[in-house]
Amino acid sequence: MIRRLVALVLVLAVAAALFVALWPQQLDLQRTWPLAQLVSFRGAAAAVAVVLAVVLFVVGLVARPVRSLAASLGVLLLVFGAVSAGVAAARGVGRDDFVEALPTDVTVVVWNTQGGAPGVDAIADLAVDEGAEVVSLPETSAEVATAVAEAMAAAGLTMTVKTVDYPEVAGAEPTSLLISAALGEYAVAVADDGSAVETTPSMPSVVATPVSGEGPTIVAAHPVSPSAGTMGDWEAGLTFLAGACPDGDVIMAGDFNATLDHMAGLGSSGGALGQCRDAGVTTANAGLGTWPTDLPPLLGTPIDHVLATRSWMPTGYKVVTDRDESGSDHRPVVAQLTLTGA
């Protein structure tokens, strides 16, 4: 009797733990450690759960005293795996068809280059091949970004470069943003001493606004990654980015170090962050992992995004998978946005 009671308590405890790991936003725990990390890899979690379930079923077959317990836990893991995989599938696991571009469309390329690891030529080649008007380059120095812009100019695409760096913050990497000259002149707010106004803490993001007042505000986003010691700055960074996307004309792209699960509760009016909607969701690609490149896209975590307000409709989106050996641990993301005038 006692053994059955212990088994029941164990099954209930495992069921509760799996539920919280599956949907932490139900308890507003999606941005707490370590649940934020656990919910990041839905595809990998589903695969691990299925493997563990098979192991438990085998154990139950050969060990009669624990057969009932092993079977119960195995079923729980199978359900967890199925629902995890279902959530990822519902968000989209690959659709890279693009509508024919209009003259007013904006193509956005995002690539966390891990310090420019792929090299200037590889970064520029991707941007030129895609005909990018906006290139968001987290973890990319001004020197590398300027060289990329020069290479793009040689191919007929004139870009301006904006970089924000936190040299006084240990471990911080610069974020660079390239904007097509065809979109007009852009400025980044600066403090009285000439330094860029801090945006996301610990890691910089670039907020560029059109000097003329006409055109989208463009944000190259890179909040710090969530770890046991940076959870506060990570959440503050996501909150800042949500506030940077009110109703209006905003394009936001970068390495958010966050999935849609982490963004839960930070959106409004249908947006994922503020009123910015995720282009991956709209185009059925939001379940594809962009990090790390040593895991297949279905097992990785989708933390690199392109978002925009209702002024823009995503008419094409893809996670680039043919540059996994380029040196960066992130996959590039490309989105085509069509102006709606909303």
pLDDT higher at 184 or 189: 184
120 lies in the same domain as 231: yes
Q: Which amino acid is at 21?
A: A
Q: What is the domain count for the chain?
A: 2
Give mean pLDDT, residues 98-115: 96
What token pair was written down for 23? Answer: 């949907």
CATH of the domain at 205: 3.60.10.10
Condensed to tens digits (0 to 9), the pLDDT of residues 6-56 reads 778 888 999 999 999 999 999 999 999 999 999 999 999 999 999 999 999
Residue at which a domain ends, from 91, 117, 134? 91
**How many Å separate Cα 83 from the centre of its chain?**
21
Residue at which a domain ends, from 29, 63, 91? 91
**Is a pLDDT exceeding 90 seen at residue 72?**
yes
Determine, yes or no, domain membership for 217: yes
114 lies in the same domain as 255: yes
**Is a pLDDT exceeding 60 seen at residue 193?**
no
Give mean pLDDT, residues 63-84: 92
179 lies in the same domain as 253: yes
Q: Are 179 and 197 in contact (CB under 8 A)?
A: no
Q: Is beta strand 186-188 parallel, antiparallel or unpaired with respect to 277-278? A: unpaired
125 lies in the same domain as 62: no
Determine, yes or no, domain membership for 276: yes
- Highest averaged pLDDT of the listed ranges 65-74, 181-190, 286-295: 286-295
Least Cα distance to 202 among 178, 238, 177 occurs for: 238
Confidence of residue 190 (pLDDT cuts 50, 70, 90): low
What token pair was written down for 213? Answer: 């007042």
| Dihedral of alpha carbons 179, 132, 148, 234, sign | positive
Condensed to tens digits (0 to 9), the pLDDT of residues 269-313 reads 999 999 999 999 999 999 999 999 999 999 999 999 999 999 999
27 lies in the same domain as 126: no
Within 13 Å and on the Cβ side, how many CA atoms surround 159? 29
DSSP result, 176-193:
EEEEEGGG--EEE-B-TT
pLDDT at 189: 80
Give mean pLDDT, residues 70-88: 95
Determine, yes or no, domain membership for 98: no
Q: Report how far residue 326's alpha carbon sits from residue 112's, in angstroms, rounded to the nearest whole number.
A: 12
Determine, yes or no, domain membership for 97: no
pLDDT at 195: 59
φ/ψ (deg, to 5) at 151: -65, -40
Least Cα distance to 174 among 188, 193, 156 occurs for: 188
Q: Are 179 and 218 in contact (CB under 8 A)?
A: yes
Q: Report how far residue 201's alpha carbon sits from residue 92's, in angstroms, rounded to the nearest whole number.
A: 31
**Is a pLDDT exceeding 70 seen at residue 83?**
yes
202 lies in the same domain as 335: yes
Q: Is beta strand 134-138 parallel, antiparallel or unpaired with respect to 312-319? A: unpaired
Mean pLDDT in the chain? 94
Determine, yes or no, domain membership for 110: yes
199 lies in the same domain as 75: no
Give mean pLDDT, residues 233-247: 95
Residue at which a domain ends, from 39, 59, 91? 91
pLDDT at 65: 82
84 lies in the same domain as 114: no
Determine, yes or no, domain membership for 99: no
**Is a pLDDT exceeding 90 seen at residue 135?**
yes
In sequence order, what are the beta bridge partners of 277?
308
37 lies in the same domain as 116: no
Q: Report how far residue 76's alpha carbon sits from residue 88's, in angstroms, rounded to the nearest whole number.
A: 19
Residue 47: burial class (beta carbons within 10 Å; 0-12, 13-18, 19+): middle
Determine, yes or no, domain membership for 96: no
113 lies in the same domain as 73: no
List strand residue ranges (DSSP E) for the chain, in order: 106-110, 134-138, 159-164, 175-180, 186-188, 206-210, 217-221, 250-255, 277-278, 304-308, 312-319, 333-339
Determine, yes or no, domain membership for 69: yes
Give mean pLDDT, residues 215-226: 97
Residue 57: burial class (beta carbons within 10 Å; 0-12, 13-18, 19+): middle
Confidence of residue 197 (pLDDT cuts 50, 70, 90): confident
Confidence of residue 5 (pLDDT cuts 50, 70, 90): confident
Least Cα distance to 285 among 97, 107, 25 occurs for: 97
157 lies in the same domain as 9: no
Q: Are 309 and 341 in contact (CB under 8 A)?
A: no
42 lies in the same domain as 153: no
Instruction: Say what percent of the chain tops pLDDT 70.
Output: 97
Q: Are 303 and 258 in contact (CB under 8 A)?
A: yes
Q: Domain range spanning residue 267?
A: 106-339
Q: How many residues does the chain have?
A: 342
